Amino acid sequence: MENGPPFRFFITHPKVVLLEWDTEPDDALLNRLIEFRKAIKKEFVEVIQITQGYCSLMLFHDKAINTIDRYQTRLNLLYSSLVSFSKKNSKLWRIPVCYSEAWAPDLNALSKSLNMTKDTLIEKHVSVRYRVQFIGFLPGFLYLSGLPKILECARKDQPVSHVAKGSVAIGGKQTGIYPVNSPGGWHLIGKTPYPLFKPQEENPCFAQAGDSIQFEPITLKNYWELEERIKNKTFKIRPE
């Protein structure tokens, strides 16, 4: 446990509390946030929503918080009572990605700027298991940690107005998949045919914070075949 208060406590609105951890994001902190978030949902009935960030939790309440000192003490005690912050019940999702030029408009330029071949960039990108830190920016957008340092790069100087859903990209120290059509400033290196966001389902996003993601390269032919199977509902990614 940390010395002193475990997190910074801010009232950003009479019904909203922000908790911030003064540390760099890593797996240990992610485990802490996940377990603490579950405990808050269980013990604080007045909390109606929790938004997770890399090093923060934002708590939304059904009414204004009147006794702030007492409320903060309750949170500190609950956090201190959690003796274990281990990785539990996480799932591994293997995401098929086509790195063909048809879906990778920035792959060639990015590989050159990183002083490597396109094949090396792809090999590095699929070589690790990424971890879902949280979901945000867009519905179903997974913030993933674990990008190999050799692939870190600055975002585009000029974002593009349209990025197709399913596009796999690298920006800064992160990689991710655009779940819906949107503007974007990351470098597009591939595309998955698998839908990341299904608003009609009870759980619109297939993954959750703490899960792992493994990208698996497929050919352009594989891409079209999988897309057809997905349309016909004969293919679905299953977690391990």
What's the CATH architecture for 8-81? 2-Layer Sandwich (3.30)
> Do 8-81 and 92-231 share a fold?
no
Crossing angle for the helix pair 68-81 and 27-43, to the nearest 10 degrees: 120
CATH 3.40.50.720 is the classification of domain 92-231 = no
Q: Could you tell me what percentage of the chain is helix, strand and coil, using 3-state DSSP and rounding each to the nearest 5? A: 25, 30, 45
Mean pLDDT, the chain, whole residue set: 91
**What is the rounded distance in angstroms from the CA atom of residue 184 to the CA atom of residue 162?**
7
Per-residue confidence (pLDDT) for residue 84, from 0 to 100: 66
pLDDT tier at 2, thresholds 50, 70, 90: very low
Nearest to 190 by CA among 114, 95, 91: 95
Give the neighbor-by-neighbor strand order of the sheet with 56-61: 8-13, 16-20, 56-61, 47-52
Nearest to 17 by CA among 70, 73, 74, 60: 60
3-class SS of residue 195: coil
The partner residues of 167 in beta bridges, in order of sequence, read 191
Regarding predicted confidence, which is higher, 62 or 240? 62
**What is the rounded distance in angstroms from the CA atom of residue 153 to the CA atom of residue 86?**
31
**What is the rounded distance in angstroms from the CA atom of residue 163 to the CA atom of residue 137?**
14
Q: Which helix (H) or strand (E) holds 35?
A: helix 27-43
Q: Which helix (H) or strand (E) holds 130?
A: strand 130-135
**What is the rounded distance in angstroms from the CA atom of residue 70 to the CA atom of residue 198?**
40
> How is residue 236 written in tokens?
């679905």
pLDDT, tens digit, for every residue of 101-155?
A: 989 999 999 999 999 999 999 999 999 999 999 888 788 889 899 999 999 999 9
pLDDT tier at 1, thresholds 50, 70, 90: very low
Residues 75-99: what's their mean pLDDT? 85
Count of CB atoms situated within 10 Å of the CB of 143 = 20
Q: Where are the domains of the chain?
A: 8-81, 92-231
Res 194 pLDDT > 50:
yes
**What is the rounded distance in angstroms from the CA atom of residue 110 to the CA atom of residue 216?**
20
